Structure 1
């Protein structure tokens, strides 16, 4: 594992130097250039149908970006046709970063991961929200329908090579940390906000209940 760096303030390139650096990279290979086929083919459709998680990137009108994981049982991400995919919006913390961004800026990018497989599927396009009852019914899990769906019109679609996941050894468990390495998320956020021990304990109980009872519908 690489040694940790001491605190430092790295020198940053100016715009001209950054452009020169990027221009100094080698030419893109013909295969890498051609692999974006702009549609969801049979291979990508099957991959998405088996994937239990994807990462969703959006940005607001000013370009401030957000990336969020979306996890569901296999089959929950719906490929509607070769240029359209739908993702359920499950209960969360109601920050609604993704949905609010899409109200301002419809651009969206997705990366689908499949446990045990080091390649990924990458899509990009524009998104709109849907409350179509037939679609939401098809996305129900344990009888719970999502509040809405994010429907993406695909502009870019391709398979991404395995280098990043091989470097990270994501599926091997080599870098897995034992339980207890970190405090609970409620306690860490409580530390960040300076909450009392009582409030941290209340937060831990709330999170535990949400994880147990609120995965598919909002808690009452």
Structure 2
């Protein structure tokens, strides 16, 4: 049984391209009977997702056009429902409903979550189920992001079909405002210490 992501992603056309470019042999191991799994959350994936404050989600419309949307919230807004299911609340927004409309006709989604500080990213393939908040207010409150009082319109429940940790190459290293503040705190303290020392030295020689 092959790794779940390889079964989904390595289509005949993709395999043909790998053959053409010389990478098919290297990737064949992901399709072998000795390799399996990749569709169940382990501690590594669970911790990674709980720490994220955003991810990118792709859907496809009935006309075949893909759409990518950034979904953000405080760390923990992605809820782990069980070892194969995650969910999050869809808060009131610009009312275009592009992702929601696409999901109505094609429930397949792809997610990429990135840790820019440590150059790590996780790809997720899944099947989404939509629950209107008014139909299940208790579930809506359970998936409410911490500290948010925004109106929840619906819930997106994603059954994980496959996951894959992606190559860290070319991921830019970035810090959030909060992370940057922590990194520079000691520098600011040192600047203040030097300013005080300079003021004291200047006063002594005046």
- Give the shorter-chain TM-score range: 0.5 to 0.7
Q: Would you say the 8 A contact 1:35–1:159 is kept in 2?
A: no
5+ residue gaps in structure 1? 1-17, 174-220
- Tell me by how many angstroms 1:114 deviates: 2.5
Give the strand-richer structure, 1 or 2: 2
In structure 2, do the counterparts of structure 1 residues 81 and 35 end up closer, same or farther at CA, with 3 Å as the change threshold?
A: same
Normalised by the size of structure 1, how large is the TM-score? 0.62
Normalised by the size of structure 2, how large is the TM-score? 0.65
Equivalent in the alignment of 1:134: 138
**Which SS does the other structure have where 1:24 is aligned?**
helix
Q: Would you say the 8 A contact 1:37–1:157 is kept in 2?
A: yes
Larger Rg: 2
Distance 1:78 1:49 in 2: 7
Equivalent in the alignment of 1:171: 174
Given the alignment, which residue of 127, 146, 156 partners 2:162?
Answer: 156
Q: Is structure 2 residue 24 aligned with structure 1 residue 24?
A: no
Equivalent in the alignment of 1:143: 149
**Which SS does the other structure have where 2:48 is aligned?**
helix
**Which SS does the other structure have where 2:44 is aligned?**
helix
Q: How does 1:100-119 map to 2 (within 5 A)?
A: 100-119=101-120
Distance 1:43 1:170 in 2: 21
- Tell me by how many angstroms 1:90 deviates: 2.2
- Tell me by how many angstroms 1:58 deviates: 0.4
Give the helix-richer structure, 1 or 2: 2
RMSD over aligned Cα atoms? 2.6
**Which SS does the other structure have where 1:66 is aligned?**
strand
Deviations 1:50-91 (A, max 9, x none): 000110100012321100000100001011111111022123
Aligned length: 153
Distance 1:121 1:19 in 2: 22
**Which SS does the other structure have where 2:41 is aligned?**
coil
Equivalent in the alignment of 1:37: 38
- Tell me by how many angstroms 1:36 deviates: 5.9
Q: Is structure 2 residue 66 aligned with structure 1 residue 65?
A: yes
**Which SS does the other structure have where 2:119 is aligned?**
coil
